[in-house]
Amino acid sequence: MEAEARARLTAELDPDQLEAVCARARALCVLAGAGSGKTRVLTRRVAWLSGVEGIAAERILAVSFTNEAVAEMRERLGELLGAEAAADVECATFHASAWRLCVRPYRRYFPRAVTVIYSADDSLAVGRRAAAAAGASIGAREALRRIGLAKARLMTPAELEESGGLDAQAAAVWRRYRAELRAAAALDFEDLIAAAVWLLEEHAEVREAVRGRFAAVLVDEFQDASPAQRRLVELVAAAGSLTVVGDDDQQLYGWRGGDAAALLEFAASSRRVVLGRNYRSAEAIVWAAARLIAHNPDRPAKALRAQRDGGRVEVRRFADHAAEAAGAAAWAAERLAAAGGESGGELCVLARTGRYLQRLEEALLAAGVEYVVSGRRRLGEYAEVRDVVALLAGARYPYHREALRRAAARVRGLGPRTLEAVFERADGAGVAPGVLLEEPRRLSGLRDRERAAAAELGRRVAAVRARAAGGLGGAVGEAIRRSGWAAELAEGEEGEEAERRRERLAALAALAARLERGGESDLEGLLARLALGGDGEARAAEVMTLSTVHAAKGREWERVWLGGAVEGELPHRRAREGGAAALAAERSVAYVAMTRARAELVISAPERVGGREMRPSRFLGEAGLSSW
């Protein structure tokens, strides 16, 4: 059986891939160039460790950054190991791993047992109140950005304050923000990694349990791991082998704490395998991308060699952004209408920023080209789903004030002032706000109408909780009904948007049913899945994609149009002011964009945007594509 597994797992691998899959090393670094079969190597190494080295599947942890990457790994592992064994591998994003391995099972170690993961909307609402209370001139979004980066670097509010300026203001906001989250027994998304590190470092029980669980840890996209993520990996993998896969040329998240230097430092102290054969892109595309990235300083010599001949790279100039957008739309329409027509799923238009894509959307609509915007919104971010989830969260977490605020907005007569009064009484009585809402007799002092409205919210929450005892599906159905969306969509709202709302609520119910079939009986599992992003809507396989470069990482298309190749957009204006390191990071963005294309790459540059004259991107000349 082992010989059969060896033959199957090593079939059709090039020598470098074979070495990476089969290496016997406690520390292995795979430097994987663009299109070099990174996911193939990573998943086959998992299967090798299990099927040949004899490591039990449940003792292997495989971590990546996005839910899409994790879904692809799971699918491939199912093909290699079989569905049952693949399900035993702990395969998850960094944040989901932190929640499942550390935070959820050991919540008792927090000042108030953590039960809630706040969404981005929850966090922003708390951040706005915290900024106002702190009297800060810094905006809530900017404060939360600085706080998030500090958490990624495992800093404290005091350490952030020492930086002075806007960082000091952000630290003042952070203290109030943190206090409100603690009162709600909540963590935000950025807290999860730092909280897991704290648990592992400070509590021997957690450290011994988690370290002893895994004999092998594999990490994808290590060049983008923040200091907190790297520390988490170090702690979890302390007792087993560690394989990291990454590419210093494809670092996209330096602004979130990612550091390609950490990847190269690990490579210097471990067994290193370089994957330099590009199987994705044709020769012309690889040639241009390699010429471009060679301009980045301090990168190790790493030749990327195309395995496909031919290919086409073209640069187009346009008078302005509107003309550029019309050109991209015409290009897409022409490819879709060509003899033997190409699938829309093989076309993509990329841009450095989402703002730049807006004009492209208008042009595509005018040209009648159907498209989907990658990474725009997840299921849990739509208003009707958020309203239903608010009731579910209020039923599961009686301290979840943001959920109660959201649910209260759907109750006639229950305004913000009345709800704040309820919260004040709950604090005074030392009980959870959700508990107080279900006991209207304790709401003395409120006017009759206010008390009745508060009691109605309490009844809705109690009804959802009662249905949850019988399963997730019943709880979701009850929440859809109690939120008022079932009646609203049945009686009044018609048209395309109403149908989409119905579809999204049906998708929420389907997610609950799927989790329930998998053995999840607690609302917490559903709510965590939504908060951690494992709820993405299915991608239309036959529809053209619009995407930012960051959202396109890990994906590929036969034909790609990269718009906005002008100074100030790519490279972004902030990078031009940030020195050599910032410019190198932008060069990596352009490199990633170019290597998404398999056969055709069109790069466009408008001469004017918003009335301003634009210079073509310096990256065009560096890639050998023009004399500019």
- Read off the pLDDT of residues 568-627 as tens digits, 9 standing for 90 and up: 888 888 877 777 888 888 999 999 999 999 999 999 999 988 778 889 999 999 999 874
- Residue 142: the pLDDT is 94
Q: What type of residue is 309?
A: D
- Average confidence (pLDDT) over 510-527: 86
Same domain, 221 and 316: no
pLDDT mean across residues, the chain: 87
Mean pLDDT calculated for residue range 91-98 = 92
Are residue 246 and residue 307 in the same domain, yes or no? no
- Predicted pLDDT at 574: 80
Please indicate, yes or no, whether residues 89 and 123 belong to a single structural domain of this protein. no
Is the model's pLDDT at 444 over the cut of 90? Answer: no
What pLDDT, in 10s, does the model give residues 215-274? 999 999 999 899 999 999 999 998 789 999 998 888 877 767 677 888 888 888 999 999
Same domain, 527 and 409: yes
Q: What is the pTM of this model?
A: 0.84
CB 623 within 8 A of CB 292: yes
Q: Are 81 and 52 in contact (CB under 8 A)?
A: no
Q: Are residues 390 and 426 in the same domain?
A: yes
| CA angle, residues 217, 259, 144, in degrees to nearest 5 | 100
Domain that holds residue 513: 379-532
Strand 305-308 versus strand 597-609 pairing type? unpaired
Nearest partner of 528 among 110, 114, 85, 87, judged by Cα: 114
Residues 330 and 418 in one domain: no
The answer to the question of residue 213 being in a domain is yes
Task: Please give the Cα distance from 43 to 39 (Å, whole number).
Answer: 6
Please tell me the least confidently modeled range out of 52-66, 450-464, 528-542.
Answer: 528-542
Do residues 488 and 400 both lie within one domain?
Answer: yes
Residues 548 and 526 in one domain: no
Alpha-carbon gap, residue 65 to 68, rounded angstroms: 9
We report the CATH number of the domain holding residue 576 as: 3.40.50.300
- pLDDT of 628 above 50: no
Lowest mean pLDDT among 172-176, 392-396, 516-520: 516-520
Do both 296 and 246 map to the same domain? no
Does residue 569 belong to any structural domain of this protein?
yes
User: Is 538's pLDDT higher than 50?
Assistant: no
Range with the lowest mean pLDDT among 50-54, 59-63, 146-150, 284-288? 50-54
Kindly indicate the confidence band of residue 429, based on its pLDDT and cuts at 50, 70 and 90. Answer: confident
- What distance in Å separates the CA atoms of residue 69 and residue 50, rounded to the nearest whole number? 20
Domain count, the chain: 4
Which of 163, 183, 203 is the C-terminal boundary of a domain?
Answer: 183
* Shared domain check, 153 and 56: no
pLDDT category at 494 given cuts 50, 70, 90 is low
pLDDT of residue 537: 46
**Parallel, antiparallel, or unpaired for β 597-609 and 612-613?**
antiparallel
E-state strands within 466-596:
544-548, 557-562
Give the distance, in angstroms, between the CA of residue 299 and the centroid of all CA atoms in the same chain: 27
Give the pLDDT mean for 107-136.
88
Whether 398 and 520 map to the same domain: the answer is yes
pLDDT exceeding 90 applies to what percent of the chain? 47
| Residue 113 placed within a domain | no
Residues 481 and 519 in one domain: yes
pLDDT tens, 332-376? 888 887 755 567 788 999 988 887 777 788 888 777 777 888 765
**pLDDT at residue 436, as a whole number:** 87
- Three-class SS state of 563: coil
| Residue 110 lies inside a defined structural domain of this protein | no
